[in-house]
Amino acid sequence: MDSATFFSPQAGRQIEAPLRLNARFGIGDVVRHRMFDFRGVIFDIDPVFANSEEWYESIPQEIRPRRDQPYYHLFAENEDSSYVAYVSQQNLVADSENGAVEHPQVPELFGEFDGKRYRMRRSLTH
């Protein structure tokens, strides 16, 4: 399989990743976590795990996801707060049917929710 490397600021090192990404979700998609009570909007995708070892090791081993899958950066929210989350593909499901996400950073990158997904602001696309 062909691969390439990229620098991950979160991991502080080069990461090797496949050239073809098998991402189930795209930027602007609304998703929710399979096990934990939060949902969010995807704003970035890593082709494989690209965060720190400390972050990875902090996940209990019995629920720790595989590294060799896409990981998504989310503007996430639950009943209590808004935050940025980093979640493996195996732990996400589509959730657009539950409407818009109220995270305060969503308008910085995206236009209005169209009922299915968010579109990146035109000024931010090529």
C-alpha distance from residue 70 to each of 34, 46, 86, 119 (Å): 15, 6, 10, 21
Contact 115, 94 (CB under 8 A): no
Question: Residue 101 corresponds to which tokens in the numbers above?
Answer: 């996400």
pLDDT in tens, 44-67: 999 999 999 999 999 999 999 999
Question: Which amino acid, 64?
Answer: R
Is 100 exposed, middle or buried, given 0-12, 13-18 or 19+ CB atoms closer than 10 A? middle
Provide the CATH number for the domain formed by 22-124 in this structure.
Answer: 2.30.30.390
Contact 59, 78 (CB under 8 A): no
What pLDDT, on a 0 to 100 scale, did the predictor assign at position 5? Answer: 80
**This prediction's pTM:** 0.85
